[in-house]
Structure 1
Amino acid sequence: MISRWTVVVDRDDLTKTDVLHDELPGLPELDDCEVLLRVDRVGLTANNVTYGVIGDVIGYWRFFPTTAEGRGVIPLWGFADVVESTVDALPAGTRVYGYLPMSSHLVVRPKLTSSGFVDAAEHRTDLPSVYNSYLITTSDPAYDPRLEDLQVLYRPLFMTSFLLADQLVDNDCYGARTVVISSASSKTAFGTAQCLRDKGVRLVGLTSPRNVEFTKSLGLYDTVLPYDAAVDVEPTVYLDFSGSADVRSALHDRLGEALVKDISIGLTHQAASQDARSQFFFAPDQLRKRTADWGSAGLAERFGEAWRGFTAQAGDWVGIARHSGPDELIDVWQAVLRGRANPDTADVITF
């Protein structure tokens, strides 16, 4: 018997979860050009909460559809292994990295590329291509089997960090002298700070009082302040990883016209911003621009250099907490959802 499972969440109340089990007498029969993946290892961070909060806005609920009414499947980043295949170039045992469901298995319809494949399943064809691409580990120059935990945790976040910092640098930081970053202890936020080091701007991290010391210990920010502290009035870009309306309003009130740009990225407060003063950063847009500017190889080279610099330090910043199976996956989801996850640990789940 083959046991398959999927964790679904209520699309209107992300705290409500359920595990759907499916017992099969054997591996499912695949159509031509289909491959069955067995999900092996994933990371779970506040970034995954964002997928649920704005699932209808960007289309995140559509990647891994479920027949459970009113429910959805949260996407994760991680590694999976081919267990059944009708594609000669992807035999059983092939290990891939990419966008995966909260589920033990995934059927994909690969369209081969130089580094892996794109899932050409019909329901994914009009969704952002960055989420449809899978890397074969043996063709990925950035892959290191010793660093799989760091990759599932940081690589998708760091790509956002890399592209966000690149957009700022590409626009001369919009004339700002300071970049203020909220949720400064979060992984995407401090990845962005790392990419902006030595770019000619002062980096100010805002965080909750309990996370001030940890955020200072990273050594990435010029100044770390609790949320209720006043920032200096000078030309400033605000990178909003928290989605907090109160923090945004306080900054606008204090800085006035000195706030030259307000960019919303993360939603750790679980509320999609409706504030017209904030511009939403969508990483695939900058990815498309830089692919056109530099070519795929040029982009991969620049990202690879930044990624290696980041991973050389990241292992010292955060400890890895390891979990296993759907029940522990749900426990981690609930902790991250409620903001109870510690900034100095990161969660990896094996299936």
Structure 2
Amino acid sequence: MISSWTVVADRGDLTETEVLHDERPELAELSDCEVLLRVSRVGLTANNVTYGVIGDLIGYWRFFPAGSDGQGVVPVWGFADVVDSTLDALPTGTRVYGYLPMASHLVVRARLTSSGFVDTADHRADLPAVYNSYLVTSQDPAYDESLENLQVLYRPLFLTSFLLADRLVDNDFHGARTVVISSASSKTAFGTAQCLRDRGVRLVGLTSPRNVEFTESLGLYDTVLPYGASVDVEPSVYLDFNGSDDVRSALHDLLGTSLVKDISIGLTHQTASQDPRSEFFFAPEQLRKRTADWGSDGLAQRFGEAWRGFTAQAGSWVGVVEHSGPEELVEVWRAVVAGKTNPNTADVITF
């Protein structure tokens, strides 16, 4: 047997975590089409907190079930290596990118695709397909070994940014001339701003006073304001990346009918309640629409172009801090949940 570990969080209090040690099966114990992955590098951002906050609403807790009803395994994005396999097409040493648990190992039931494989495990069968697909790095045209840190930090976030921006453009911004973005210093927010540059709308970023200077330094927003400052009254879309009731109410009071659309994306304030004034953006829905519109290859081409443009700049915006092992993973997780991380740094954990 192979020694392994899993980090579990209390689903009612995400700061309460525990490292569980266990054993994983060797090749002789894998069933047909099963592959054993060893997790090697993951990113940790506020986006992972959202997975925990709305884990029951969207089904995020179901991807990597925990043994206890009150506990859950938070998903992360990253790289893993095949260490045992029943499939010749996925030999030992194959490196893959995808949706992973906060754990050292993962067993998947692989159905091969042109770019990698899909995990067809029974408990994931009715979950969004985007989270069940894994890319083999040797078959991924966007893969660059030197950019692995940027990929684990930004690629899943940037896909949300890309799809959100695309939805706004596809709907002609619902008639708005301004897009107001909260938590403007967060990675998904400024990725969205990058996608909306030169699209004919004014971009206003809202952030905490301590993050104003950093957010301005990105050069992505036309205006950066601290929370509580007044915005111009004109037809506007609000992109809510933090879930603050106070910020939402202040904008609705100020803009009135000029606020033509209110869209919730992130929940860094850690509340799963859905305000009826806002609609929730679920990226897989837009992904399905654009796959139907453009085809898989067309979507990959458009995203690839946007991704390359983003990574050309992102490396200079945020410094990467590397950590190692499950204990440091837990430390980073607690800091992210508590909102104690800096916007100008990002955390990568290797195992």
TM-score normalised by the chain length of structure 2: 0.99
Cα distance per residue 1:291-350 (max 9 Å; x no partner): 000000000000000000000000000000000011000000000000000000000000
- Which position in structure 2 is the counterpart of 1:31? 31
Inter-partner Cα distance in structure 1 for 2:25 and 2:192: 47
The alignment partner of 1:67 has SS state of coil
* Native 8 Å contact 1:178 1:236 kept in 2: yes
Q: Could you tell me which residue of structure 1 aligns to residue 340 of structure 2? A: 340
Question: How far off its partner does 1:215 sit?
Answer: 0.1
Partner Cα separation in structure 2 for residue 349 and residue 285 of structure 1: 30
Aligned to 2:101: 101
Q: How far apart are 1:94 and its partner, in Å?
A: 0.3
TM-score scaled to structure 1, two decimals?
0.99
1:21 matched to which residue of 2? 21
What is the Cα deviation at residue 24 of structure 1?
A: 6.4
Residue matched to 1:43: 43
Residues 208/3 of structure 1: CA separation in 2 closer, same or farther (3 Å cut)? same
Deviation at 1:69, TM superposition (A): 3.2
Q: How does 1:193-342 map to 2 (within 5 A)?
A: 193-342=193-342
Query: Contact between 2:27 and 2:85, CA under 8 Å: does it hold in 1?
Result: no
Runs of 4+ aligned residues of structure 1 deviating over 3 Å after TM superposition are 23-28
What residue in structure 2 maps to residue 125 of structure 1?
125
Separation of aligned partners in 2, 1:218 and 1:110:
40
Q: Secondary structure at the match of 1:68?
A: coil
Distance 1:177 1:68, change over 3 A: same
- Report the counterpart of residue 116 of structure 1 in structure 2: 116
Q: Retained in 1: the 8 A contact 2:185–2:214?
A: yes
8 Å CA contact 2:7, 2:18 repeated in 1: yes
- Unpaired runs of 5+ residues, structure 2, are none
CA deviations on 1:279-302 (whole Å, 9 max, x unpaired) are 000000000000000000000000
Change in CA separation of 1:25 and 1:303 when aligned onto 2, cut-off 3 Å:
closer
SS at match of 1:38: strand
- What is the aligned partner in structure 1 of residue 71 from structure 2? 71
Structure 2: how far apart are the matches of 1:276 and 1:70?
28
Matched, 1:53 2:76: no
Separation of aligned partners in 2, 1:272 and 1:157: 19
Which letter maps to 2:302? Answer: R
Supply the AA of the counterpart residue of 1:338: A
Given that 1:2 and 1:27 are in contact with CA atoms closer than 8 Å, whether structure 2 keeps it comes out as: no
The percentage of aligned residue pairs carrying the same residue is 81
Partner of 2:301: helix, strand, or coil?
helix
Give the alignment of 1:147-226 within 5 angstroms: 147-226=147-226
Which digits, 9 at most, give the CA deviation of each residue in 1:4-34, with x for residues without a partner?
Answer: 0000000111110000001569667201110
